[in-house]
């Protein structure tokens, strides 16, 4: 059967977006429902794809169908292309399945020529309007279809206005526009070598071709890349009878939302203009008026508009963004689509619509894009303010922050102590900077991606962070950083937008966030559906209690190394690392024990009644040693060493590939006294809080296990010390001992590791790092290019690579549960807070996902959506 290319608006419906594009499907739907839609037809997205297949030519059968479609339209409207009595004028617009506002091309007033413009002038009784419409058509056609630089046309208008000594287009007369049209036509002739096409049919074919071509123009391609829209959808072309909003004071045009897209309130929100065409409202040539003023201006029309909005919402059960035109007192609908909105509005609208009986609870939960919830929890930049953006990096931790630039963690602390707000700017951060990061309003790094140290820690703290801003050159010695010619000195104020990655010069005002009643309600509904338990990654009581406030059901990862950096303990940690004998090390550990115990007690107290997974020491030890000469000097003093000796000691700990080196379980099994100190601290803390009537559920986790024996030895060591503590105190507490699965090898031998493990928690950060062989802290150097070249679709440290890393996880789950069917399985890498990855974890029957505190609400919604989607 031959392919059908064209569908009249009567033939389609809202479910045919794949075929008719969003705009076409909705025009058909509105026609079907009896809304006043100017008649027309849609050329399908499939035809667009065929157009490309055939080397950018009209595919077989299209020309004939077009003749038929135009004939039908002429019959329905009683108008005719090129007619001397009643000429048919149409608009030609693009419309992909997913709306790409402003990305592709549009031609209005098509069908005008030297003859029909005269008819329009006579019929409208308004020659000035007719020639204005004509010049708009020639201008748009010249720009969009004939690819003539639009400045050519604009300079004619500017010169005309200068010649007549007027400011506005509206001050030009019919004669002026007639002259402008003649000049435009000359431009067309000069630029293309041929006359402007007078024949409507030729105009139409050329305009359709231009719209198809606009699917591939660079800005459209870029837009699809940014928004993850597939490139093989194609665009439909909508050909629709023109209605004119610029016929005089009884005409007009408007664009509005059925609810407020900023705050979600239920009132019509938008703009309109009397005596104007649609583009005038959008393009900002004239300042549009508040839609509510239309009520005074045209009360009947406003009533129709209100009724239309209500009907559309009831029908679509979704907030709509509509375009309408009033032609000489008659109301026409030109477009309806689901309206884009802020996160705040999205939540309010979903919850309100559920209460209004428009949608079910399940639909309300499905309506909110989990990622946008991030925006709701952090202060955000005031969108109405002008910004001086000097650089752009990876939006690593959302929210807005403003403060004075500092270059070291110590300086951050110093300024913070005197009440100053600071932004810590580093080439990259290391765990050593943690104290400075903690007190900073925001963190900016030149290096590192979304899973870099800075990014992970910042998200954990809920501190806005822009990482991998590769354009900036950080020079802490000179007390400055530069972006090209711009120099930013220590103490200068900058603002970071961690949601967009923008680095802005100076201050910007922010808007504070709090959990709205609607969000709390929506999260409760999400929990009714979600099967995955959402826990948090938290290392401090403050983060833990924040996460609890956001609904975390426990701690899935407490990274103990972050506890070792406080001023009161870093030197003891260094003493432990540099000890020459086990006895020396044990002495240092004895001093650390009460401090660790205290840390755990505080966290257990906050998490009363909920499980807490504590991971034993993980990073390479040299990360705890000083780097800068001034710090080495101080360190030499503390340890009674000469500067040279101290430097040698530090150097002796250096590794070529620290991430593949002496870290994690490798330290724990070779220095069992460290494992024992941590095990003792955890259990003593648990017993102490249990005594206070607090319900404590400790889970001890061993990092970086690759061989069964590593786990077994660690577990034995822990059990020994736990038995000791039980014997000493005469008290007991339930506990679990499990492992992280973060090495490819661990996945392959998971059945062996599972024999003695109580649980698995996938460290997908390391698992991604080790599978790809990409250092997570250096990946920003090539990641953007990799994405641009299409080698990677996205950042695998952010979105789980289901193709390569996924099967490792699947294998490990199968093997682990093969020997222990009730093995509890979690994820605590950054992917635990990414919606598409969450769906993967749900599919693989995980029990728990764990993420940074500020991502907990997002994860709750993502978990619910994953369950709902998989059930379908
Ligand atoms: C991981 O590797 O995914 C993980 C959670 O551990 P870390 O990020 O601390 O290496
Ligand atoms: Mg890890």
Residue 788 has pLDDT above 60, yes or no: yes
Q: How far is the CA of 767 from the centre of ligand 2 (A)?
A: 8
Could you say which of 453, 562, 622, 831 is catalytic? Answer: 453
Residue 860 has pLDDT above 60, yes or no: yes
Q: How far is the CA of 251 from the centre of ligand 2 (A)?
A: 65
Residue 511 has pLDDT above 90, yes or no: no
Could you say which of 402, 558, 828, 851 is catalytic? Answer: 828
Q: Who surrounds ion ligand 2 at CB < 5 A? A: 742, 763, 766
Kindly report the average pLDDT of the chain as a whole number: 92
**Could you tell me if the CB of 743 is within 6 A of ligand 1?**
no
pLDDT for the residue 406? 97
Between 532 and 345, where is the model more confident?
A: 532
**Could you tell me if the CB of 828 is within 6 A of ligand 1?**
yes
pLDDT for the residue 698? 98
Is 558 marked active-site? no
Is 378 marked active-site? no
Strands 697-702 and 611-615: parallel
Residue 663 CB-half CA count within 13 A: 22
Strands 486-489 and 480-483: antiparallel
**Could you tell me if the CB of 623 is within 6 A of ligand 1?**
no
Q: How far is the CA of 672 from the centre of ligand 1 (A)?
A: 22
pLDDT for the residue 375? 72
Confidence of residue 289 (pLDDT cuts 50, 70, 90): confident
pTM exceeds 0.75, yes or no = yes
CA angle 11, 241, 273 (to 5 degrees): 120
Residue nearest to atom 3 of ligand 1 (CA): 763
Confidence of residue 270 (pLDDT cuts 50, 70, 90): confident
Between 100 and 329, where is the model more confident?
A: 329
pLDDT one-digit tens code per residue, 31-74: 999 999 999 999 999 999 999 999 999 999 999 999 999 999 99
Tokens 């041929």, residue located: 194
pLDDT one-digit tens code per residue, 629-676: 888 898 888 888 899 998 998 888 889 998 999 999 999 999 999 999
Most confident of 221-225, 561-565, 616-620: 616-620
**Could you tell me if the CB of 763 is within 6 A of ligand 1?**
yes
- Ligand 1 atom with the smallest distance to the CA of 769 is 2
Residue 718 has pLDDT above 80, yes or no: yes
Return the structure tokens found at 284.
Answer: 């900002």
pLDDT for the residue 451? 58
Q: How far is the CA of 766 from the centre of ligand 2 (A)?
A: 5
The SS3 of residue 216 is: coil
pLDDT one-digit tens code per residue, 419-461: 899 999 999 887 678 788 888 999 999 987 665 667 777 876 7
Close Cβ partners of 319 (under 8 Å, ≥ 6 residues apart): 257, 258, 259, 261, 313, 338, 339, 341, 345, 349
Rounded mean pLDDT of 152-163?
A: 93
pLDDT for the residue 229? 84
Confidence of residue 580 (pLDDT cuts 50, 70, 90): confident
Bridge partners for 465 per DSSP:
397, 443
pLDDT one-digit tens code per residue, 115-152: 999 999 998 888 999 999 999 999 999 999 999 998 89
pLDDT for the residue 735? 98
**Could you tell me if the CB of 402 is within 6 A of ligand 1?**
no
Confidence of residue 374 (pLDDT cuts 50, 70, 90): confident
Confidence of residue 284 (pLDDT cuts 50, 70, 90): very low
The SS3 of residue 498 is: coil
């Amino acid at each position: 059967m031959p392919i059908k290319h064209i569908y009249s608006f009567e033939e389609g419906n809202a479910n045919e977006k794949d075929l008719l594009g969003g705009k076409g499907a909705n025009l058909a739907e509105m026609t079907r429902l009896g809304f006043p839609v100017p008649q027309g037809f849609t050329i399908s997205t499939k035809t667009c794809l065929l157009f490309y297949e055939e080397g950018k030519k009209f595919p077989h059968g299209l020309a004939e169908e077009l003749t038929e479609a135009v004939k039908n339209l002429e019959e329905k409207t009683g108008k005719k292309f090129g007619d001397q009595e009643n000429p048919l004028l149409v608009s030609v617009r693009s419309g992909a399945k997913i709306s790409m506002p402003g990305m592709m091309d549009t031609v209005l007033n098509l069908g005008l020529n030297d003859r029909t413009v005269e008819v329009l002038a006579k019929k409208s009784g308004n020659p000035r309007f007719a020639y204005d419409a004509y010049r708009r058509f020639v201008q748009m056609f010249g720009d969009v279809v004939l690819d003539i630089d639009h400045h050519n046309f604009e300079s004619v208008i500017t010169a005309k206005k200068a010649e007549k000594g007027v400011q506005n287009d509206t001050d030009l007369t019919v004669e002026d526009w007639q002259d402008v049209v003649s000049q435009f036509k000359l431009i067309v002739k000069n630029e293309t070598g041929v006359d402007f096409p007078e024949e409507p049919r030729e105009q139409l074919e050329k305009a359709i071709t231009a719209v198809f071509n606009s699917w591939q123009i660079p800005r459209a391609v870029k837009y699809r890349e940014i928004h993850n829209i597939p490139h093989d959808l194609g665009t439909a072309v909508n050909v629709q009878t023109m209605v004119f909003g610029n016929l005089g004071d009884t005409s007009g045009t408007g664009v509005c939302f059925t609810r407020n897209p900023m705050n979600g309130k239920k009132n019509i929100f938008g703009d309109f203009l009397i005596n104007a065409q649609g583009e005038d409202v959008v393009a900002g040539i004239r300042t549009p008026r508040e839609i509510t003023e239309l009520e005074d201006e045209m009360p009947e029309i406003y009533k129709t508009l209100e009724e239309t909005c209500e009907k559309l919402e009831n029908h679509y059960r979704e907030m709509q963004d509509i375009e309408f035109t009033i032609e000489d007192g008659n109301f026409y609908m030109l477009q309806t689509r689901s309206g884009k909105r802020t996160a705040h509005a999205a939540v309010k609208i979903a919850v309100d619509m559920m209460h209004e009986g428009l949608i079910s609870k399940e639909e309300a939960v499905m309506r909110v894009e989990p990622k946008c919830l991030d925006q709701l929890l952090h202060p955000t930049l005031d969108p109405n303010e002008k910004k001086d953006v000097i650089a752009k990096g990876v939006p690593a931790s959302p929210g807005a922050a403003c403060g004075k630039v500092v270059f070291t963690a110590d300086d951050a602390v110093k300024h913070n102590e005197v009440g100053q707000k600071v932004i810590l700017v580093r080439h990259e951060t290391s765990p050593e900077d943690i104290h400075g990061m903690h007190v900073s309003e925001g963190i900016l790094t030149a290096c590192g991606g979304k899973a870099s140290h800075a990014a992970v820690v910042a998200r954990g703290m809920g501190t806005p962070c822009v990482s991998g801003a590769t354009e900036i050159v950080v020079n802490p010695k000179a007390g400055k950083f530069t972006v090209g010619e711009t120099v930013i000195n220590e103490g200068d104020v900058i603002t970071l937008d961690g949601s967009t990655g923008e680095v802005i010069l100076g201050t910007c005002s922010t808007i504070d966030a709090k959990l709205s009643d609607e969000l709390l309600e929506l999260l409760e509904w999400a929990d009714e559906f979600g099967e995955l338990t959402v826990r948090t990654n938290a290392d401090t009581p403050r983060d833990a209690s924040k996460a609890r406030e956001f609904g975390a059901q426990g701690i899935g990862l407490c990274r103990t190394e972050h506890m070792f950096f406080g001023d009161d303990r870093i030197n003891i940690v260094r003493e432990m690392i540099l000890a020459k004998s086990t006895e020396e090390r044990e002495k240092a550990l004895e001093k650390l024990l009460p401090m660790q115990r205290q840390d755990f007690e505080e966290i257990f107290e906050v998490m009363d009644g909920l499980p807490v997974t504590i991971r034993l020491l993980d990073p390479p030890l040299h990360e705890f040693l000083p780097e800068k000469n001034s710090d080495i000097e101080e360190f030499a003093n503390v340890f009674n060493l000469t500067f040279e000796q101290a430097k040698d000691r530090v150097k002796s700990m250096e590794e070529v590939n620290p991430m593949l080196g002496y870290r994690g379980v490798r330290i724990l099994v070779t220095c069992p006294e460290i494992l024992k100190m941590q095990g003792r601290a955890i259990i003593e803390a648990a017993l102490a809080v249990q005594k206070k009537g607090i319900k404590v559920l400790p889970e001890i986790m061993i990092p970086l296990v690759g061989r069964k024996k590593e786990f077994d030895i660690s577990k034995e060591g822990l059990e020994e010390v736990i038995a000791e503590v039980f014997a000493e105190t005469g008290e007991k507490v339930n506990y679990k001992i499990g492992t992280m699965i973060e090495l490819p090898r661990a996945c392959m031998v998971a059945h062996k590791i599972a024999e003695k493990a109580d649980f698995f928690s996938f460290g997908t950060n390391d698992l991604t790092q080790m599978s790809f062989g990409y250092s997570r802290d250096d990946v920003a150097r090539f990641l953007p290019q990799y994405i641009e070249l299409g080698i990677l679709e996205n950042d695998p440290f952010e979105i789980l690579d289901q193709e390569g890393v996924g099967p490792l996880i699947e294998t490990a789950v199968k093997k682990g549960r093969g020997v222990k069917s009730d093995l509890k399985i979690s994820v605590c890498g950054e992917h635990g807070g990414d919606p598409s990855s969450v769906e993967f974890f749900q599919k693989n029957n995980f029990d728990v996902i764990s993420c940074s505190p500020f991502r907990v609400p997002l994860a709750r919604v993502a978990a619910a959506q994953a369950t709902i989607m998989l059930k379908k």
